[in-house]
Structure 1
Amino acid sequence: MDFLARATSIVGNTMVLMRRIGSPGTQAVGASPAIPEARKQGIMTLKMPAAHGWAPGHLPTPAPGLKVNAFATGLEHPRWIEVLPNGDVLVAEARQIPTPPKSLLDRAAQATMRRARALGDSPNRITLLRDGGQSGEATQRETFLAGQSQPFGMALVGDTFYVGNTDGIVAFPYSEGATRLEGEGRKLVTFKPGGHWTRSLIVSPDGRRIYAGVGSLSNIGDDGMEAEEGRAAIWELDLVSGSSRIYASGLRNPVGLAWEPATRVLWTVVNERDGLGDETPPDYLTSVEEGGFYGWPYCYWNRIVDDRVPQDPAMVARAITPDYALGGHTASLGLCWVPPGTLPGFPGGMAIGQHGSWNRSKLSGYRLIFVPFANGRPSGPPRDILTGFLSPDEKLAYGRPVGVVVGPDGRSLLLADDVGDVIWRVTGA
């Protein structure tokens, strides 16, 4: 496998150099992005930095006026964070599990992902972190819930704790201050596992519903649309009746979910399709309409048809253009609303953890950014909060950002880093 990874790197680097010729010089970002014409890749660009981690004393670079410290270290592939009302911080630790490869490209991709520590055995647990002295560092660590199926999203409603496993939503009884949950839990909704496996969760403002992001199995419906049934969608679970349904669809891989508080509109970040170029199409941040269809796999952005896919003109005509482009293959995963005053110099807006993807000749993402909002909408260009996760030559990843939340004190952000195995804490300097 190491030999295959090295061979893949050599071939991949050659392809990358070829594809940098004529690649766009600017990112497709904002409400009206300049999206280059599609350039079909055939053999996909496969570029991934090797996972390196952080040497002692080496930290991400905060924006001016901010500082960063490690809230917790020594975790195993931390992906998502939930802060409970009592201040406990929960971290879902999980990893993509390999499936039998179908082609040489699959084998090469798996070898590369192992090198990046993105593929392998999954910890399948949720860890509780508690900062007993309000020092900005976790002083207590407990295994809150073990034996799950690639847990990701978490939510607490009253005395019930919900977990978004890759195969469905499970509910457990919870009492305030508990450091461990026991039992099997109640399965409330079943999802198809695998593929884009993360299942983020968010509770509606009135506490009556839970929304879940469910990604596609494949890039562009490669195994047929029957295999994609129930996927590439945001689901709604009614906690009173127990019924569930697809709330919005055509979203290739919707991960982070957040409410804009003034309008109470749901927003998500979506990872778009591969194989069409460095900036084509861009990943995006968008509001989510009930019953809305956002184009996947038939088209992207402003109903630009993907002619690799058997077409459905009626579905293309229905497609909603997203609100805000985040650049191609940034793998924007984490999302949370940041109230004004949380960080000095930052108004209200959305914080977005950009994990960074592999389908580019020049890497992008690998940072925590902020998109300002005004009147319920994005209102300006993105700003960096944390950078420095990627080596200047793009060969090493010191870390890769994923989930982001407002800290228990309301004056900090917590960021999960699944390569550094760290939870970072960002505050005013």
Structure 2
Amino acid sequence: MSSASSRALHVALAGCLGLLSTVALAQETFHHVPSAAASVANPYQGQADAISAGGKFYAANCASCHGGVGQGAGNIPALRQGPAQQATEGALFWFITKGDVKDGMPSWAALPEKERWQIVAYLKTLPTVKAPAAGASVVTGSSITTPPPTPPFTDFRYEAPGKSRKITVADLPAPYATGSAGNAPQMVSRPEGALPKAPPGFKVNLYAEGLDTPRVIRTAPNGDIFLAESGSGQIRVYRGMTADGKPAQTAVFAAHLDQPYGIAFYPVGPNPQWIYIGDTNAVLRFPYRNGDLQARGAAEHIADLPGGGHWTRDIAFSLDSKTMFVAVGSASNVDDPDTTSAEKGRANILAFNPDGSNRRRYAWGIRNPSGIAIDPKNGQLWTTVNERDGLGDNLVPDYITSVREDGFYGWPWWYMGGHQDPRHQGKHPELKDKVLTPDVLLQPHNASLQITFYEASHFPADYQGDLFAAEHGSWNKATRVGYEVIRIPRHHTGKASGEYEDFLTGFVLPNGQVWGRPVSLTTAPDGSLLVTDDGSNSVWRVDYVGQ
């Protein structure tokens, strides 16, 4: 096997303490797994008792990162489909045992060998598992006692609706000023009566629940709400709203998709003819007319995309409907595309003609542009980005920025202007002066996933034209941060000055346990804001009711 093909996806089963680097190339083994190890048979393969035990070990050690049914979350790859299911059980066992410290995957050799094999046996059943193997109970009476953070950096204890923050390049510490933490969230059920916290004058209610990994949410031109349920591979549609702020009607628009994420209507305007879907390895489109609750035809394949790794594929169209933008994140934390074939053509925002032709690179060096959106006022493309991990608590900031055509944003060699990543010391000096500094620096490691422009008139007037963003929450910070929705004020200028405000908080309990993780946002026809939450598998509605 060549060195290029032997570089495979980094998949962890047991308590992922860091971002895992993945490569979606069928039939490849895990990272440097020797062929002899990959060929070892699992002595517990297919045994019911072993699978049951493995499920318990998975719940205790793996589910907080990879999800209760292996659905993945944010930067963490899914295990219930894709390369994890293609790998041999021997390869999985070897990788669990050895780990990959560079990308944050620890060695789990301390687990008894039998338990590791049982976890592997359980992993192979994940495609058929319908509910988490176990759930953590809520712990009461405890709290986080680490020292307060040094502003402008923060953590969940100090997030509060309406609080304004601004991080500048001058605030950034040196690499490794602190250690690189492994602090994956412990997910718990939402405590009875718990609701997200919003600024004064806003009211929050539960819009929908019982979903399977709700991710991107979009409003159709006719007011219907489309939702990608990435876990179940389907697109759901909601219509109307009851007096208590819930959908009046729901239907499944399309099913049997592969981790659907991005949703876009084409052409732009009041009468779309297609709905485009960003599957993890392709762009698809369905014929559509306003009011369709089910796809009126089969999916048409528009373009191939690299799969695995950062699997989220967002889509947006230019205002003139001539250009389709597609976000493709990296396959790793910080692998060098010069030497890692799996990174070729990734960490980019791509541009296509709407029929999938004329593929080109629009902007590059963007580690994971998980969310993209077009400013409806002027057509400017914006993105929100998960930056790299492993350099300490306060490096490297995630960010939200307008995107410059052919702009270079640094990954993996540089960051935030001319700061070189020490893991690539001396590489590509010619790029140093080309690195663009983003418009808004966010808290490092908070996993900013999606953005939307607020153009309705229901919120107070100073919200008009502002950006909202969903912060999924950290794993690589000693005291967790994120797990909130933020607002980017633009003061009716169309530009961002660098500050942001906490808007929707309260998804983390005082003891650090997590019950909710915001993913995506859209404006409902009545001007309220809908927020998907794949921690509680819900959608929240934020309405303005006045002071």
- Fold conserved (TM > 0.5)? yes
Partner of 1:369: 486
- The higher radius of gyration belongs to 2
Partner of 1:193: 307
Alpha-carbon separation, structure 1, partners of 2:241 and 2:460 = 25
Alpha-carbon separation, structure 2, partners of 1:88 and 1:134 = 17
Alpha-carbon separation, structure 1, partners of 2:60 and 2:209 = 30
1:139 Cα deviation from its structure 2 partner: 2.3
Is contact 1:93–1:126 with CA below 8 Å preserved after alignment? yes
Q: Provide closer, same or farther for how the CA distance between residues 39 and 407 of structure 1 changes in structure 2, counting only shifts above 3 A.
A: same
Is contact 2:317–2:374 with CA below 8 Å preserved after alignment? no
Alpha-carbon separation, structure 2, partners of 1:134 and 1:232 = 44
Output the amino acid matched with 1:238. N
Q: Provide closer, same or farther for how the CA distance between residues 420 and 5 of structure 1 changes in structure 2, counting only shifts above 3 A.
A: closer
Q: Secondary structure at the match of 2:205?
A: strand
Q: Provide closer, same or farther for how the CA distance between residues 398 and 31 of structure 1 changes in structure 2, counting only shifts above 3 A.
A: closer
Is contact 1:145–1:182 with CA below 8 Å preserved after alignment? no
Partner residue of 2:358 out of 243, 247, 254 = 243
Q: Provide closer, same or farther for how the CA distance between residues 22 and 397 of structure 1 changes in structure 2, counting only shifts above 3 A.
A: closer
Partner of 1:105: none
Output the amino acid matched with 1:329. H
1:74 aligns with 2:190: no
Q: Provide closer, same or farther for how the CA distance between residues 342 and 260 of structure 1 changes in structure 2, counting only shifts above 3 A.
A: farther
Is contact 1:191–1:230 with CA below 8 Å preserved after alignment? no
Q: Provide closer, same or farther for how the CA distance between residues 51 and 21 of structure 1 changes in structure 2, counting only shifts above 3 A.
A: closer
Map residues 28-427 of structure 1 onto 2, 5 A cutoff: 30=166, 32-33=168-169, 34-39=171-176, 44-94=180-230, 122-131=231-240, 133=242, 136-157=245-266, 158-181=272-295, 184-221=298-335, 224-239=339-354, 242-309=357-424, 311-339=427-455, 341-344=457-460, 346-347=462-463, 348-374=465-491, 375-379=493-497, 381-394=499-512, 396-409=513-526, 411-427=527-543
Partner of 1:112: none
Map residues 5-24 of structure 1 onto 2, 5 A cutoff: 24=150
1:181 Cα deviation from its structure 2 partner: 1.6
Is contact 2:439–2:497 with CA below 8 Å preserved after alignment? no
Q: Provide closer, same or farther for how the CA distance between residues 289 and 417 of structure 1 changes in structure 2, counting only shifts above 3 A.
A: same
Q: For structure 2, which runs of at least 5 residues remain unmatched after alignment?
A: 1-13, 15-55, 65-103, 105-145, 155-164, 267-271
Alpha-carbon separation, structure 1, partners of 2:241 and 2:443 = 40
Once the two structures are superposed, residues 87-146 of structure 1 have per-residue CA deviations (whole angstroms, 9 ceiling, x without a partner) of 11111011xxxxxxxxxxxxxxxxxxxxxxxxxxx3111111122556521122211111
Alpha-carbon separation, structure 2, partners of 1:162 and 1:262 = 22
1:264 Cα deviation from its structure 2 partner: 2.4
Is contact 1:232–1:251 with CA below 8 Å preserved after alignment? yes
1:239 Cα deviation from its structure 2 partner: 1.7
Q: Secondary structure at the match of 2:331?
A: coil
Alpha-carbon separation, structure 2, partners of 1:293 and 1:218 = 18
Output the amino acid matched with 1:27. F
1:147 Cα deviation from its structure 2 partner: 0.7
1:320 Cα deviation from its structure 2 partner: 1.2
1:315 Cα deviation from its structure 2 partner: 2.5
1:367 Cα deviation from its structure 2 partner: 0.6
What number of residue pairs does the alignment pair up? 390
> Which of structure 1's runs of 4+ aligned residues deviate more than 3 A?
1-9, 20-26, 28-31, 132-135, 222-225
Which of the pair is proportionally richer in helix? Answer: 2
Is contact 1:340–1:346 with CA below 8 Å preserved after alignment? no
Q: Secondary structure at the match of 1:382?
A: strand
Q: Secondary structure at the match of 1:227?
A: helix
With 285-294 and 369-378 compared, the bigger mean Cα shift is at 369-378
Output the amino acid matched with 2:478. S
1:346 Cα deviation from its structure 2 partner: 4.0
Output the amino acid matched with 1:401. P
Q: For structure 1, which runs of at least 5 residues remain unmatched after alignment?
A: 13-19, 95-121
Q: TM-score, normalised by structure 1?
A: 0.84
Alpha-carbon separation, structure 2, partners of 1:217 and 1:326 = 22
Output the amino acid matched with 2:322. R
Which of the pair is proportionally richer in strand? Answer: 1
1:207 Cα deviation from its structure 2 partner: 1.8
Alpha-carbon separation, structure 2, partners of 1:260 and 1:134 = 31
Q: TM-score, normalised by structure 2?
A: 0.67
Alpha-carbon separation, structure 2, partners of 1:329 and 1:313 = 26
Aligned residues with identical type, % of pairs = 37
Is contact 1:24–1:278 with CA below 8 Å preserved after alignment? no
Output the amino acid matched with 1:153. G
1:268 Cα deviation from its structure 2 partner: 0.6
1:373 Cα deviation from its structure 2 partner: 0.6
Q: Secondary structure at the match of 2:432?
A: helix
Is contact 1:398–1:419 with CA below 8 Å preserved after alignment? yes
Q: Provide closer, same or farther for how the CA distance between residues 201 and 240 of structure 1 changes in structure 2, counting only shifts above 3 A.
A: closer
Q: Secondary structure at the match of 1:85?
A: coil
With 416-425 and 380-389 compared, the bigger mean Cα shift is at 380-389
Alpha-carbon separation, structure 1, partners of 2:458 and 2:381 = 21
Q: Secondary structure at the match of 2:360?
A: strand
Alpha-carbon separation, structure 2, partners of 1:23 and 1:387 = 18
Taking only aligned residues, the RMSD between alpha carbons, in angstroms, comes to: 2.5
